[in-house]
Chain A
Amino acid sequence: MAIFSVYVVNKAGGLIYQLDSYAPRAEAEKTFSYPLDLLLKLHDERVLVAFGQRDGIRGGLGSGRGRGVGRAPVLRKWVGCRCGAGGKGVVSGPLSPRRNPGAAASLTISFTSAVGHAVLAINGMDVNGKYTADGKEVLEYLGNPANYPVSIRFGRPRLTSNEKLMLASMFHSLFAIGSQLSPEQGSSGIEMLETDTFKLHCYQTLTGIKFVVLADPRQAGIDSLLRKIYEIYSDFALKNPFYSLEMPIRCELFDQNLKLALEVAEKAGTFGPGS
């Protein structure tokens, strides 16, 4: 998917709508039996892999003995890990290739960030920070043999909604700085922000609402997508009499039509290989 996210920011800088629309390319979901052969730790309200690297799940502390770090190993040996079932640092268990040759398939992780992967979901249900979907503490849950076998999805830690709120408000301020820094009078704020992995496009209406789209740098047609999102907002949010201005947008029809517009924009504007 070439369009990653949409943010709508109200006049005061408050985030009133957010949609993530990318299929994460680097998540690994595996079934584990007790004991877990990865070391998990709590960091910043998230459960991260502190140590251990297997089948594409990345740890954060010098895992792998320099061999192919950044690639997805099928089998890893490490010394000194106390988590392996055998206690000696060899990955064993139902998913080890010796017992289950079919499990040799690995996932390719294409970025080389050293940040440890986070626990994203347990048994198919998204976790909520350090708590499971039903409010238990993840570390506690995974420490209890009775809860196994368990299926855990690991991946790059996602932004929490609070973090998104803060980032939106920060962007709102930076947007204003953009126009203040300008040598010319009456300059607009930030309209585009480019990194090597995405481009952020921002459209501020005359009424002060900002529509922000994060997309693949090669994705074209974002300007007209932004105008289209403005139309969708003016229809499905504003013409809904039960929607109050400046408040978070919780309108089904807005969601549906926005997702449709993203699909259309992706198909129309992708020039790069594969979405």
Chain B
Amino acid sequence: SSRSASRVSSELFTLTYGALVTQLCKDYENDEDVNKQLHHNLFCNFLPRGFNIGVRLIEDFLARSNVGRCHDFRETADVIAKVAFKMYLGITPSITNWSPAGDEFSLILENNPLVDFVELPDNHSSLIYSNLLCGVLRGALEMVQMAVEAKFVQDTLKGDGVTEIRMRFIRRIEDNLPAGEE
């Protein structure tokens, strides 16, 4: 890889993410709106921040990782957990809880670099602090013609033992398919 060896320190990354969330909390005053600004599974009349990052990050991912098109959702799950999370967050979540139809799975994050040193205060108990991650996933997958839903179902910040993101495959995005991808 031609990426230079110097990376931003994870502390600076955690602080930067924290600055984003606290600024949003100031701007929107209620947790639900902040959650939406980071990520929303339904259609919004604005681009949630996570989604906006995802649609750009996917190209960086494809350009650098050289992975080909995934043939099913299981391959997608593997690539997300073993290649993408590793590349960008330095962690490898485990994949569990597959639905019988194979259209839903969970990503279990033992640790989450975004929440190092973070505690949720009582007045922000419904804040989904790391919701940006779900947005990134949804935005990135949409660019490769997959409509998915991503949401946190467990969060260490809320006292759960692990952090769990549930991913659900909604449908293949058929309009504007790149030629040769039918």
Selected contact of B56 from candidates A175, A176, A239, CB within 8 Å: A239
A187 to B2, CA, bound (A): 30
Q: A231-B2, A231-B64 are in contact. Are A207 and B179 (CB under 8 A)?
A: no
CB distance from A187 to the nearest CB of B (A): 6
Note all chain A residues with C-beta closer than 8 A to B181: 186, 206
Cβ of B182 and Cβ of A238 under 8 Å apart?
A: no
- Is A141 on the interface with B (CB-CB < 8 A)? no
Within 8 A of A (CB), among B57-100: 58-60, 62-64, 66, 68-69
A233 to B143, CA, bound (A): 15
Note all chain B residues with C-beta closer than 8 A to A139: none
A206 to B60, CA, bound (A): 12
Note all chain A residues with C-beta closer than 8 A to B2: 231
User: Measuring CB to CB, which residues of chain A are less than 8 angstroms from any residue of chain B?
Assistant: 11-12, 175-176, 178-180, 186-189, 204-209, 227, 230-231, 233-235, 238-239, 245
Cβ of A207 and Cβ of B59 under 8 Å apart?
A: yes
Cβ of B55 and Cβ of A234 under 8 Å apart?
A: no
A239 to B58, CA, bound (A): 11
Q: How large is the interface on B (under 10, 10 to 19, 20 to 34, 35 or more residues)?
A: 20 to 34
- Is B159 on the interface with A (CB-CB < 8 A)? no
Cβ of A205 and Cβ of B179 under 8 Å apart?
A: no
Cβ of A239 and Cβ of B60 under 8 Å apart?
A: yes
Note all chain A residues with C-beta closer than 8 A to B56: 234, 238-239, 245
Selected contact of A189 from candidates B63, B68, B179, CB within 8 Å: B179
Q: A207-B62, A238-B59, A239-B60 are in contact. Are A178 and B179 (CB under 8 A)?
A: yes
Cβ of A189 and Cβ of B60 under 8 Å apart?
A: no
Note all chain B residues with C-beta closer than 8 A to A204: 178-180
Note all chain A residues with C-beta closer than 8 A to B178: 11, 204-208
Selected contact of A186 from candidates B58, B59, B180, CB within 8 Å: B180
Cβ of A206 and Cβ of B179 under 8 Å apart?
A: no
CB distance from B29 to the nearest CB of A (A): 25
Cβ of A205 and Cβ of B59 under 8 Å apart?
A: yes
Cβ of B59 and Cβ of A234 under 8 Å apart?
A: yes
Note all chain B residues with C-beta closer than 8 A to A175: 179-180
User: Measuring CB to CB, which residues of chain B are less than 8 angstroms from any residue of chain A?
Assistant: 2, 55-56, 58-60, 62-64, 66, 68-69, 143-144, 176-182
The 5 listed contacts between A and B (C-beta, < 8 Å) are A176-B180, A178-B179, A207-B178, A238-B56, A238-B60
Shortest Cβ distance from A11 into B: residue? B176
Cβ of B63 and Cβ of A187 under 8 Å apart?
A: no
CB distance from B133 to the nearest CB of A (A): 18
Note all chain A residues with C-beta closer than 8 A to B143: 207
A236 to B59, CA, bound (A): 12
Note all chain B residues with C-beta closer than 8 A to A234: 56, 59-60, 62-64
A179 to B179, CA, bound (A): 7
Shortest Cβ distance from A238 into B: residue? B56
CB distance from A182 to the nearest CB of B (A): 9
A15 to B176, CA, bound (A): 16
Cβ of A235 and Cβ of B60 under 8 Å apart?
A: yes
Cβ of B180 and Cβ of A206 under 8 Å apart?
A: no
Cβ of B180 and Cβ of A187 under 8 Å apart?
A: yes
A26 to B79, CA, bound (A): 51
A sample of 9 more A-B contacts (CB under 8 A), given A179-B180, A186-B180, A205-B63, is A12-B176, A176-B180, A178-B180, A188-B180, A206-B62, A206-B144, A208-B178, A230-B63, A238-B60
For the complex of A and B, list the 10 residue pairs with the smallest distance between their C-beta atoms, beginning with the closest. Answer: A176-B179, A208-B178, A179-B180, A234-B59, A234-B60, A238-B56, A230-B63, A188-B180, A231-B63, A234-B63
Note all chain B residues with C-beta closer than 8 A to A188: 180
CB distance from A253 to the nearest CB of B (A): 15
